[in-house]
Amino acid sequence: MKKLEIVLSRDSLHHVVDRLALIEHIKSLHVTSSELVNLHTKEEDARSLISIKIEFVVEDEYVDEVLQLLLGDDKITFGRIYILVVDRAFELGYREGYRFRLALSSLIRASRKDVFNTVTDYEHLAELFPSYFKSISIRSSSDNMTVTEEEVTIDDLSIKQISRHIVYPPAVHEVEILSGYLEGSRITETYTEASEGTQVMVVADIKIKEPLARVFGFHIKHKVEQQIKGVMKELARFVEDRLDTVE
């Protein structure tokens, strides 16, 4: 499958919509205003849009047909056209939410115990990482399981959710998000001793509900990935600075 991103002049949107309506395999367009636009969008509806960048998915065999229809219309003024290879998850993303997996790793120059204890000190995470956690509180805790209620931020957007944490100190921290736009997502962190400190591996199976997927469009994976990388970077800075202070 191919994802097409098209940047065009505001006045051209309704011409593009009319053209794409001729291809029955395209069901909807994704516009940067975070709205799903019906193929029969009226011109007056387009005037309220923030910008005119549309994204949609089409089967490989229809890409040439789409381009010929659009490029052959002198009423359409293009800025840029991007064609990217995607899988079917993108097509489903507009109707059922969006799902993807990430695997990230980082070396932190501190002991595994210090790193693990910092990550699982839930009540202080908002103080340690204010750019990513607005608030977090413990709802219940028993043995190796803790349930937290938290408000996190992604690109200045606040998201409230409930998460379940299961720990196997000091090696594994598993998180399952139980409610909110990321409900059903699972994140597994493993902490391995290394010669220079602690090797942290994060494997995430992320599920995004449709309202949030529409806000960020096809950039949502990048946003979440940058979020996780940011937390890992701040974690490394905090525990390494604390170690330097002690020494």
Domain ranges of the chain: 2-86, 97-246
| 17-26, 38-47, 50-59, 236-245, range with the lowest pLDDT | 38-47
Which is more confident, 146 or 68?
Answer: 146
pLDDT at 27 over 50: no
H or E segment at 64?
helix 63-71
| E-state strands within the chain | 2-8, 29-31, 35-37, 53-58, 78-85, 98-108, 133-142, 145-154, 157-168, 172-177, 186-194, 197-208
| 154-158, 168-172, 237-241, range with the lowest pLDDT | 154-158
pTM: 0.61
Within this chain, domains 2-86 and 97-246 share the same CATH topology: no
Which is more confident, 209 or 83?
Answer: 209
Fold of 2-86: Alpha-Beta Plaits (3.30.70)
pLDDT digits (tens, 9 = 90+) for 84-125: 655 443 333 333 457 788 888 899 999 999 999 999 999 999
Fold of 97-246: Alpha-D-Glucose-1,6-Bisphosphate; Chain A, domain 4 (3.30.530)
* Residues 30/3, Cβ–Cβ less than 8 Å: no
Calpha distance 85→67 (Å, rounded): 16
